Amino acid sequence: MDTEVRQRAFHFIDDLRAVHGNALPREALARGFEYEGTRVPLIGPQGIFKPAVLTGMPLSITTVPADPRKPRPYEDAVGEDGVIHYKYRGSDPSHADNAGLREAMRRQVPLIYFVGLVPGRYHAEYPVFVVGDDPLDLTFRVQVDDRRIVTPSEAGVAEANATARREYITVLAQRRVHQEEFRVRVLMAYRECCAVCRLRHLELLEAAHILPDRHPQGDPVVQNGLALCKIHHAAFDRNILGIRPDLVVEIRRDILQEEDGPMLRHGLQELHNQALLVVPRARELKPDPARLEARYQLFQQAG
């Protein structure tokens, strides 16, 4: 039953992602799914969570989203070293929740790791495995694995190739978390609208970097982001569409001279010299003029 519940939980999250993308609503995770007439929530008030249907080991672990108004109860270290350092519950290593995670480590049982992006929205990584225990630091060591590779024959086995694979996948997972957190925070700042055309369909919205990751100022912060629909994001990335530091849109000269159908005319050409329709209300979240200036120079060079 334990194995079946965990597999059902993985499939349930797959279905949620098909609807909500990678930023899952907490209420849907707390409601969970039904298993043989019993409700199975995936997340609870405590970070280490075991639904009543399971008798021994937890189903999920959670890191709550950052909140500027209050500190996190536990500072889980989400590093880039191929390992997640997840804090014990409390300071007693023998607490039932800590003992449950220790048993999950011993048996190499897959868990779900929920990372809070913003209040009410969580990113899920699964399966994750507890691979180490440090009672002196009150910390478990956790790694992410690939569902397509994990087989029952690997349960309880920590062979070298599994360890190396998990380190690599965990690093990729950390990057996914950072990207999704950037996306959610940018879209929230722009009230879930495209800054250029005011399109409101979340599934068609993306967080564009003003300056890319590889740039020295390409940090994944809201001030370096723009909420754009897929079309205008692609046009911005390819320097078809530029945004001046005074938040006015320009379209590249050769595109203005093209003759094509209504999409080109209404979707791009008519935006020329139009101010952005949506910008963040909070001053500290507005696009950084210095970054816009640097990006606008690249747009002018492309033209």
Give the model confidence (pLDDT) of 25-54 as tens digits.
999 999 999 999 999 999 999 999 999 999
Same structural domain for residues 136 and 196? no
| Residue 46 to residues 42, 74, 90, Cα–Cα distance (Å) | 11, 11, 11
Same structural domain for residues 183 and 198? no
- Alpha carbons 223 and 244: distance in angstroms, whole number: 15
- Amino acid 81: pLDDT: 73
- Amino acid 153: pLDDT: 46
Q: Is residue 281 scored above 80 in pLDDT?
A: yes
What pTM was estimated for this model as a whole?
A: 0.84
Final residue in a domain of this structure, among 187, 217, 248? 187
- Alpha carbons 244 and 99: distance in angstroms, whole number: 57
Q: Domain range holding 295?
A: 192-302
Q: What is the pLDDT of residues 49-97, one digit of tens each?
A: 999 999 889 999 999 887 766 666 656 666 667 899 999 999 999 999 9
Tokens read off for 213: 């990751």
Same structural domain for residues 96 and 156? yes
- Name the nearest CA neighbour of 230 among 279, 196, 255, 185: 196
- Name the nearest CA neighbour of 103 among 44, 45, 156: 156
Residue 303 — pLDDT band, cuts 50, 70, 90? Answer: confident
The mean per-residue pLDDT over the stretch 233-245 comes to 97
Same structural domain for residues 222 and 257? yes
Q: Nearest 5°: CA angle at 128, between 153 and 132?
A: 85
- Name the nearest CA neighbour of 105 among 158, 50, 153: 158
Same structural domain for residues 121 and 201? no
Query: Which residue type occupies 165?
Result: R
Final residue in a domain of this structure, among 127, 158, 187? 187
Same structural domain for residues 183 and 40? yes
Same structural domain for residues 230 and 181? no
The mean per-residue pLDDT over the stretch 288-293 comes to 97
- Amino acid 44: pLDDT: 94
Same structural domain for residues 98 and 171? yes
Number of structural domains, the chain? 2
- Amino acid 151: pLDDT: 53
Q: Nearest 5°: CA angle at 206, between 204 and 212?
A: 150
65-69, 196-200, 256-260: least confidently modelled range: 65-69
Q: Is residue 297 scored above 50 in pLDDT?
A: yes
Q: What is the pLDDT of residues 142-171, one digit of tens each?
A: 999 987 765 544 444 455 578 888 988 888
Tokens read off for 75: 């500072």
Same structural domain for residues 86 and 178? yes
Query: Which residue type occupies 158?
Result: A
Q: Is residue 298 scored above 60 in pLDDT?
A: yes
- Amino acid 76: pLDDT: 64
| Sign, Cα dihedral of 222, 228, 232, 234 | positive
Same structural domain for residues 92 and 166? yes
Same structural domain for residues 71 and 112? yes
Same structural domain for residues 7 and 129? yes
Final residue in a domain of this structure, among 169, 187, 205? 187
Q: Which residues contact 303 (CB under 8 A, 6 or more apart)?
A: 239, 242, 252, 253, 254
- Amino acid 55: pLDDT: 87
- Alpha carbons 186 and 182: distance in angstroms, whole number: 6
Q: Return the H-helix or E-strand segment holding 76.
A: none
Is-contact 143 82, C-beta < 8 A? Answer: yes
- Amino acid 1: pLDDT: 87
